[in-house]
Amino acid sequence: MRGQRSLLLGPARLCLRLLLLLGYRRRCPPLLRGLVQRWRYGKVCLHSLLYNSFGGSDTAVDAAFEPVYWLVDNVIRWFGVVFVVLVIVLTGSIVAIAYLCVLPLILRTYSVPRLCWHFFYSHWNLILIVFHYYQAITTPPGYPPQGRNDIATVSICKKCIYPKPARTHHCSICNRCVLKMDHHCHILPPALSKLPTSLRPSFLSSVALALGALTVWHAVLISRGETSIERHINKKERRRLQAKGRVFRNPYNYGCLDNWKVFLGVDTGRHWLTRVLLPSSHLPHGNGMSWEPPPWVTAHSASVMAV
């Protein structure tokens, strides 16, 4: 394909060069000389109109994706409301089917111990789903405070033009920075941050069968002490340091068990019951801007600034 294109463009370029060379000579016909001068003038005008000292491939890509950004800003952000309504309708319909169709069949066929177990587990699961989903869609993910100068920051957001603390990223759908942002999920209107960690584990575990792959993926991220965005950042950083003969170490990885304790908000043994198995609206560890490990973490790396 490239060979055919070069064969077609080669003669055209040769003719253009001959015309430009003839334009330099006085023996050139006035008509041809005028065409060459107009070509040069148009070329200069085009360069002056399109010249940008800050331009480049990134600018061209941003300009090409501008319609996509407009679509995200004006259309996709309303998908969250639609998906929340669908989740509520589907959950309600499943509960109605269970009570109207499944429950009469269970009462006739199951033994008493098995009936008691199913009755207890199903209602415990239903309470956790309703409670944690309500908490997840009504709790803000956490935003960096504005107008304060005493916050440790690592960079400036190119969209908000505000300082960004460590692990903070900009959500294009919410149109603002989110502390420890993971990703924007349309079944939860705010962008997913791993700050209100106690609000989602039970909900996600309850729909693990329907969202098995997503649950496994996030379980791996939690075990490594990463968010979805940090997964890609750490991968690039690991390759960069590996090329220099150095080893990358995630400063927020406290070990698999301690990472899960931080995620679930488990400080003591009884919290496995009060904060994991029972509905709980406890606050997560830290404030989302400084990332010192909890005092009960057994081993951790030195605290560093990371993006």
**Taking residues 172-180, what's their average pLDDT?**
82
Q: Does any domain span residue 64?
A: yes
Specify whether 134 is located in the same domain as 161.
no
Specify whether 131 is located in the same domain as 155.
no
Tell me what the pLDDT averaged over the chain comes to.
76
Statement: residue 182 has pLDDT above 50: yes
Specify whether 132 is located in the same domain as 153.
no
Q: Does any domain span residue 170?
A: yes
Q: Pick from 138, 154, 170: which residue ends a domain?
A: 138
Q: Does any domain span residue 93?
A: yes
- Tell which residue, 51, 15, 56, has the closest CA to residue 35: 15
16 vs 37, higher pLDDT? 37
Specify whether 157 is located in the same domain as 145.
yes
184 vs 111, higher pLDDT? 111
Specify whether 77 is located in the same domain as 114.
yes
Statement: residue 305 has pLDDT above 50: no
- The band of 96, judged by pLDDT with boundaries at 50, 70 and 90, is very high
Give the whole-angstrom CA distance, residue 115 versus residue 120: 9
**Taking residues 237-248, what's their average pLDDT?**
90
pLDDT at 195: 47
Structural domain count, the chain: 2
Q: Does any domain span residue 159?
A: yes
Specify whether 128 is located in the same domain as 170.
no
- Tell which residue, 193, 160, 201, 194, has the closest CA to residue 177: 160
Specify whether 165 is located in the same domain as 179.
yes
Q: Does any domain span residue 291?
A: no
Domain, as residue range, for 178: 141-188
pLDDT at 219: 87
28 vs 246, higher pLDDT? 246
Specify whether 56 is located in the same domain as 131.
yes
Query: pLDDT digit string (tens) for 106-159?
Result: 888 888 898 899 889 888 888 988 888 888 888 888 888 877 777 777 888 888
Q: Do residues 264 and 198 lie in contact, with contact meaning Cβ atoms separated by under 8 Å?
A: yes
Specify whether 88 is located in the same domain as 107.
yes
116 catalytically annotated: no
pLDDT at 132: 85
Given the residues 101, 157, 185, 256, select the one marked as catalytic.
185
Specify whether 93 is located in the same domain as 127.
yes
Q: Pick from 77, 111, 138: which residue ends a domain?
A: 138
Q: Does any domain span residue 177?
A: yes
Query: pLDDT digit string (tens) for 55-94?
Result: 666 666 777 777 777 776 677 667 777 888 888 898 899 8
Query: pLDDT digit string (tens) for 197-212?
Result: 444 455 555 555 556 7
Specify whether 127 is located in the same domain as 145.
no
Q: Does any domain span residue 228?
A: no
Please provide the DSSP assignment of the chain as one string.
-HHHHHHHHHHHHHHHHHHHHHHHSTTS-HHHHHHHHHHHHHHHHHHHHH--TT-SHHHHHHHHTHHHHHHHHHTGGGHHHHHHHHHHHHHHHHHHHIIIIIHHHHHHHS-HHHHHHHHHHHHHHHHHHHHHHHHHHHS------SS-SSS--SEE-TTT-SEE-TT-EEETTTTEEETTEEEE-TTSSSEEESSSGGGSHHHHHHTTTTTHHHHHHHHHHHHHT--HHHHHHHHHHHHHHHHTT-----TT---HHHHHHHHHT--STTHIIIIIIS---PPPSS-SS--PPPTT-S--PPP----
